[in-house]
Chain A
Amino acid sequence: MDNYLNNLLLAIPLAPLGGAVLAGLFGKYIKRAGSHWVTILGVAVSFVCAVLVFKYLVLEGKHGDKYETTVYQWLVSDGIRFQVGFLIDRLTMVMMLVVTFVSLMVHIYTIGYMKDDPGYQRFFSYIALFTFSMLMLVMSNNFMQLFFGWEAVGLVSYLLIGFWFKKETAIFANLKAFLVNRVGDFGFILGIAAVLLYAGSMDYNEVFAFAANKGFDNKTIEIIPGTPWSAITVICILLFIGAMGKSAQVPLHVWLPDSMEGPTPISALIHAATMVTAGIFMVARMSPLYIESEVALMVVLSVGAITALFMGLLGLVQNDIKRVVAYSTLSQLGYMTVALGTGAFAAGIFHLMTHAFFKALLFLAAGSVIIAMHHEQDMRKMGNLKKYMPITYITSLVGSLALIGFPFFSGFYSKDVIIEATHHLAQHNGTLVAKLAYYSVLGGVFITALYSFRMFFMVFHGTERMDEHTRSHLRETPWVVTGPLILLAIPSVFIGAMVIHPMLFGGFFGGAIKAPAGYDVLADIGKSYHGVFGFTLHGMLQPPFFLALAGIATAWYFILKRPDLGAAVRTRFRALAGLLEQKYYFDHLYQYVFAAGGRLIGRFFWRVGDVRLIDGAMVNGSARVVAWFSGLVRRFQSGYLFHYAIAIILGLLGMLTWLVWPLIKGVVHGV
């Protein structure tokens, strides 16, 4: 029991929660300034505490590898303990720092972005609540709380996408986001149930210990009777379905582009930097389970590779500035998933971290442009903004270079390791999946550079395509907006080179992340790692670097040099362009098959099952039978004497026959 640490840990989620409650319930009384102060203070406290925890546990090395504490017991049933508690290891700490830092930046930025919005207090309340939920998710030491955080961030995401609840597109998007996420959660909860069934506990420690002691070996589950499947593979895939929902992997990705209907600060915080990476975090957290199943890792790898390549392609045809960044996020999430699939969990988290900084930066920069453009998001109506918005311009350039993995920028290190990992894996086991994954992520580099700089050139360079009124009002955004941009640009440049060694090869994560027993791809890469400078130089001689340069050049050629060519290419490849513009028809499929089908089934069950069969045939039917029967019986009570007389006579005859029958029978037999 370490009271100092316990209090710090408790303050980390509770401070933003307090801010959220104050701003949410008493927003009317504490006014706009009051609500941004309480929430920013809450998140700032949270960030400072996270830094203190880092100092205490990592720099001062107290409590060794990890620290665990229980806050309270949620319930105990049938010997199974459900609790709320914290597991603080290196993985948790990375997430805590990233979440609180990005959240703090976004809080400050929001003051500028939401300045004129009537729902100001509500917005601050929501984003502080989000910070709380996300922290509960990453700090959890058990599956129940993980699921709590998981769903709670989903709730806040729902509320924030639909923040402008008058907008039809926004309230369509938030319902869609929640339901698609629920499809993922459907798999996730079954995965948790399976974990409980085999490991008999909800606590990470016990489950991981169970896995480490080979508890899952030879355990099978017969979902289809007669075909036993490996239990651990089923568990990992079920859990991964949850991750596919939250981290927007194909085919559960459809909600993320639509989530751009929400205000830009939350696109940065929730739909780029933190919440969507929860799935990545979860898989890394569950690495002790995933290393037990090669099949599950293969599934993860293929889903990630598909997402990385095909979602990137969609970014090429978008004209909405936020949607370009959204598809880029999808593609980058695919990269992280690929990293997990190769077994390089640490590389996935590394990319998660660098991505959190540069993607939040890109989103906030896009938001800055949107403010300056008076909420115009169409890039075709922008151009040459570098003249008006120097800070936004420079920071966007930093973000874009980091995103495409330009040497010395943070994204370079994290992305290069992922590509290396697929390369090593493909060489090691030679499977088709690994090879295709390698080519996907490699091709993705070119695509990333192409769409990033297409956007960059369209927005900041070239001709000024906005109308006169907008142009006359163009100016750099206030410091609450540019300040966070600068603060995010700094780690976007440096964090990669700074942490690559400890995080990937220096064993920073310790026991938090396990490596596959068979082939540890990161260790293999580490053999040829000789310092960050060598790594960078080596990377500059590799295909990804040239592909990135080619992407920039292509973007430059098509956007700035020969802007007329774009239309020609589009007409030439009409079918492909159509496919991309329709987003591979996923939305159509879901809209017309699943959503409409669900409504149809509902109406059918109701009209036919309930109304016609149960009520019509059974309930009212039996009522009708009773009515018919009583109508029949009523005839017997006609009131006429002769009816009764006949009835009596008939009855008597009947009784007599019955009495006499044996006699008659006997007589007949006798004859």
Chain B
Amino acid sequence: MEFKSILLTVIILTPIVGGILTLLVSEKLARSVALFFAVATFALSVPLYTDFSIATSASDSAAHTDFYQADANKRVIQFEQKIPWIKSYNVFYHVGVDGFSMPLIILTTFITILVVLAGWKVIQSRPKQYFSAFLIMNGIMVGVFSALDAVLFYLFWEAMLIPMFLIIGIWGGPRRVYATIKFFLYTFFGSVFMLVALIYLYYKTGDKASFSILDFYHLDLTLQEQMFIFVAFLLAFAVKVPMWPVHTWLPDAHVEAPTGGSVILAAIMLKIGGYGFLRFSLPIAPLGSMELAWLVILMSLVAVVYIGFVAIAQQDMKKLIAYSSIAHMGFVTLGFFIVFAIFTYNLAHPEAVKVAASGVVQGTHAVTKGAGLAIEGGMVQMISHGFISAALFLCVGVLYDRMHSRQIQDYGGVANKMPMFAAFAVLFAMANSGLPGTSGFVGEFMVILASFKANFWFALLAATTLILGAAYSLWMVKRVFYGEVANDKVAALKDLGKREFVILAALAVSVLYFGLWPDTIVAVIHDSTNGLMNHLYENVKGSLGRP
């Protein structure tokens, strides 16, 4: 028990301590120290998965769902630690994980290792600061995912901006100043509203005067309050995800960021937006979410279709991948917010909730059937996108390190000179276009299946990703990798080095593994999904089916 309760703190502190140490040691040692701490952090985070307890039966699962009830059952929030921090305001240092945050933490610690490796040779100016920034970033991001106190969360949330600001601002490209300021203002703009909402919620807890996020779930808020709170959170999270139309900071930030920065940005930071919806918007303001779900769904579908088209037109590889990220994240938000439409459908079609003979009953309310598929699909999509976008940005990094260009037109016939690299790139491009057998398929498939129940047109528009995703991913592959060797610079290319190979191979294995055995992720999400579904249903059932 002792070990379990301090583990998260250790995972948060290890990379931060490592980051400070990296600054102190000599430049020669800095890389190894950074790698050691990155690996150590990952190793420490593995028990989060292996020791994570999940329900083993339907009744057990039902018991778990108490998490969202007032008498919190401690089995869903795990690895919990709570110490008083600012007593006069009842602020606690309160961390813990559930099925939503745990996979994201492991993703964070895993990707950080690859980022450290990717910068090994390339970063020659101020390497100590570079590696230190990423390690500290790692700790902060784990903090964001594990914070259960609103003040603590907000602190980590804002702190995250600083290392990223430095990473882009110092090691970035020529337009880095514009990009960093845009990035900073955009995200800061969003988060201010979130702060207001958090403070408002604090006052609403009344005598309890609590900043605990779990307490926020049980506030008695009017519809109007919920809508305001929802909008405030939406501004913060939509910018982070990013959702259309507040997405334009992302392509700029990616283009200017060094490879490692892009990887962290795409693989982890975007997920914080998606996670925010699960942790705050939906459970705190269920009615507000239901009322405004149409807006989020609209924004998500625009992201899939509109951004899909925009990605086709890109000439810069990093921009293309950035836009593809936005389109893929559209599935996440779509999955989270179609749940209400699914409830409505189930109410109108009682025969649709009948569980098939093979079905494992999940959730305590039949009316939620289908919603879990959507939420879990969104979660899987987040994890998968973490691997695939990281891989794609690293691939661009491999080319950029050699040719110092990200323009598609400067390439052509790379496969002739770098066959091994081309094989990886084709695999990741295929994963990006949602090929079954890769992790990219799982989340999209689940969300498309689930959205059919919500509305035929949602599914239809979402499914256009099959065509658009393939079009932009494979057209890029064609122009960059296939064809005759385009010019002398391409002719001089050397295939992957050992270090690059290891990085891409690790990601390739992950992409295939989670494509073939997605149950390894989905199984740990079930309890939290059930809890959330039931919580949402309990809160909105009075208003369902209302004209």
Contact of B309 among A150, A189, A223, A605 (CB under 8 A): A605
Residue ID in chain A nearest B471 by CB atoms: A179
Distance in angstroms between the alpha carbons of A179 and B470 in the assembled complex: 7
Chain B residues with CB below 8 A from A432, complex form: none
- Which 3 pairs between the two chains have the least Cβ-Cβ distance? A78-B372, A602-B313, A193-B452
CA of A155 to CA of B471 in the docked complex: distance in angstroms?
14
9-residue interface stretch from B216-224, B353-361, B390-398: B353-361
Contact of A598 with B by CB under 8 A = yes
Residue of A nearest to B370 (CB): A78
- The answer, yes or no, to whether B435 is at the interface (CB within 8 Å) is yes
Give the docked Cα–Cα distance between A599 and B472 (Å).
10
Number of interface residues of B (CB under 8 A): 74
B522 at the interface (CB under 8 A from A): yes
Q: Is the CB of B471 within 8 A of A614?
A: no
Q: How far is the CB of A578 from chain B (nearest CB, A)?
A: 31
> With A and B bound together, what is the CA distance between A378 and B245 in angstroms?
54
Question: Given contacts A598-B312, A610-B310, are A199 and B356 in contact (CB under 8 A)?
Answer: yes
A375 to chain B, nearest CB (A): 18
For A197, the chain B residues whose CB sits under 8 A away are: 352, 452-453
11 A-B residue pairings within 8 Å (CB atoms): A75-B518, A75-B522, A77-B373, A148-B436, A148-B437, A189-B445, A190-B448, A190-B456, A198-B352, A606-B309, A609-B306
**Contact yes or no, B466 A175, CB < 8 A:** no
Closest chain A CB from B318 CB (angstroms): 15
- Closest-by-CB residue of B relative to A616 is B248
User: Which residues from A are CB-within-8-Å of B314?
Assistant: 606
Kindly supply a per-residue 1/0 record for chain A positions 605-637, scoring 1 wherever the CB is within 8 Å of any chain B CB and 0 otherwise: 111011000110011000100000000000000
Residue B464 interfacial (CB < 8 Å): yes
Q: Tell whether, in the assembled complex, residue B519 and residue A602 are in contact, meaning their CB atoms are under 8 Å apart.
A: no
Question: With a CB–CB cut-off of 8 A, which chain A residues contact B312?
Answer: 598-599, 602
Closest to A601 in B: B309
A218 to chain B, nearest CB (A): 11
Please, how many angstroms separate the alpha-carbon atoms of A606 and B522 in the complex? Answer: 36
Q: Is A203 an interface residue (CB 8 A)?
A: yes
Further contacts, 17 of them, CB under 8 A, given A75-B519, A171-B482, A186-B466: A78-B371, A79-B356, A147-B445, A148-B437, A152-B436, A166-B484, A171-B483, A186-B464, A189-B445, A190-B456, A201-B356, A201-B358, A223-B457, A598-B309, A598-B312, A602-B312, A606-B313
Q: Using known A-B contacts A201-B358, A618-B245, determine if residue A74 contacts B377 with beta carbons closer than 8 Å.
A: no
A185 to B247, CA, bound (A): 29
| Minimum Cβ distance to chain A for residue B358 (Å) | 5
Known: A182-B470, A196-B452. A165 touches B522 (CB 8 A): no
B376 interface residue per 8 A CB criterion? yes
A615 touches B248 (CB 8 A): yes
Is A168 among interface residues, defined by CB-CB distance under 8 A? Answer: yes
Of B182, B416, B522, the residue contacting A76 (CB under 8 A) is B522
Which residues on A are within 8 Å of B, measured CB to CB? 72-81, 144, 147-148, 150-152, 155, 158-159, 162, 165-166, 168, 171-172, 175, 178-179, 182-183, 185-186, 189-190, 192-194, 196-201, 203, 206, 221, 223, 598-599, 601-603, 605-607, 609-610, 614-615, 618-619, 623
Residues from chain A with a CB closer than 8 A to the CB of B186 are 619
In the assembled complex, B449 has its CB within 8 A of some CB on chain A = yes
The answer to whether residues A190 and B248 also contact, given A73-B519, A168-B483, A197-B352 and a CB cut-off of 8 A, is: no
B-side residues, CB < 8 A to A, are 182, 185-186, 245, 247-249, 306, 309-314, 352, 354-363, 369-373, 376-377, 413, 415-416, 426, 430, 435-437, 441-442, 445-446, 448-449, 451-453, 456-457, 459-460, 463-464, 466-467, 470-471, 474-475, 478, 481-484, 516-519, 522-523, 526, 529
Task: Tell me, rounded to whole Å, the shortest Cβ–Cβ distance linking A328 to chain B.
Answer: 29
Alpha-carbon distance between A151 and B430 when the two chains are bound, in angstroms: 11
Write the nearest CB–CB distance from A209 to chain B, whole angstroms: 9
CB-CB < 8 A to A194: which residues of B?
Answer: 452
Q: What are the residues of chain A within 8 A of B352 when measuring CB–CB?
A: 197-198, 200
- State in angstroms the CA–CA spacing of A144 and B185 once bound together: 44
Residue of B nearest to A194 (CB): B452
Q: Considering the chains assembled together, what is the distance between the CA atoms of A598 and B249 in angstroms?
A: 24
A80 touches B373 (CB 8 A): yes
> Which one, B435, B448, B464, contacts A193 given CB within 8 A?
B448
Nearest-Cβ distance from residue B334 to partner chain A, whole angstroms:
14
A189-B448, A196-B449 are known contacts. Are A80 and B483 too (CB-CB below 8 A)? no
Contact residues in A for B446 (Cβ distance below 8 Å): 77
Residue from A165, A175, A200, A609 in contact with B359 in the complex, judged by beta carbons closer than 8 Å:
A200
Question: Cβ of B310 and Cβ of A605 under 8 Å apart?
Answer: yes
When distances are taken between beta carbons in the complex, the residues of chain B under 8 Å from A189 are 445, 448, 463, 466
Choose from A175, A223, A619 the contact partner of B182 (Cβ within 8 Å).
A619
Contact status of A192 and B449, CB under 8 A, knowing A81-B360, A201-B359:
yes
In Å, the complex CA distance between A537 and B450 comes to 56
Query: Which residue among B354, B436, B457 has the maximum number of chain A CB atoms within 10 Å of its CB?
Result: B436
A619 to B247, CA, bound (A): 10
Question: A75-B442, A75-B518, A77-B522 are known contacts. Are A178 and B474 too (CB-CB below 8 A)?
Answer: yes
**Complex CA distance for A77 and B430, rounded to whole angstroms:** 24
Q: Is the CB of B459 within 8 A of A193?
A: yes
Q: Which of A80, A151, A193, A610 contacts B436 (CB 8 A)?
A: A151
**Which single residue of chain A is at the shortest CB-CB distance from B58?**
A79
Question: B310: which A residues are within 8 A, CB to CB?
Answer: 602, 605-606, 609-610
Complexed CA–CA distance, A193 and B454 (Å)? 11
Q: Is B369 a contact of A79 with CB atoms below 8 Å?
A: yes
A76 pairs with B519, CB closer than 8 A: yes
A206 to B475, CA, bound (A): 40
Of all chain A residues, which has the CB nearest B181? A623
- Residues of A within 8 Å of B373, CB to CB, are 77-78, 80
Contact residues in A for B245 (Cβ distance below 8 Å):
614, 618
Nearest-CB distance from B125 to chain A (Å)?
30
* With A197-B352, A221-B456, A609-B310: A166-B522 Cβ-Cβ less than 8 Å: no
Q: Chain B residues near A78 (CB, 8 Å)?
A: 362-363, 369-373, 376, 529
Contacting pair A76 B474 (CB below 8 A): no
**When chains A and B are docked, how far (Å) is the Cα of A607 from the Cα of B466?**
24
Complex Cα–Cα for A182 and B433 (A): 10
Residue on B nearest A73 in the bound complex, by CB: B519
In Å, the complex CA distance between A80 and B182 comes to: 44
- Residues of B close to A178: CB separation below 8 A: 470, 474
Q: Which residues of A contact B482 (CB under 8 A)?
A: 162, 165-166, 171
A166 closest partner in B (C-beta):
B484
Give the chain B neighbours of A183 by CB distance below 8 A: 467
Select from chain B the residue with minimum beta-carbon distance to A607.
B313
Chain B residues near A166: list those with CB within 8 A. 413, 416, 482-484
Query: A185: nearest residue on chain B (CB-CB)?
Result: B466
Residues in B with CB closer than 8 Å to A602 are 309-313
Give complex CA distance A636, B368 in Å: 60
Which of A77, A179, A182, A619 has the most C-beta atoms of chain B within 10 angstroms of its own C-beta? A77
Supposing A148-B437, A200-B359, A598-B312 touch, asked if A175 and B452 sit within 8 A by C-beta, the answer is no
CB-nearest residue of chain A relative to B516? A74
Question: Hey, which chain A residues are within 8 Å of B413, CB to CB?
Answer: 166
Point out the residues of chain A lying under 8 angstroms from B442, CB to CB: 75
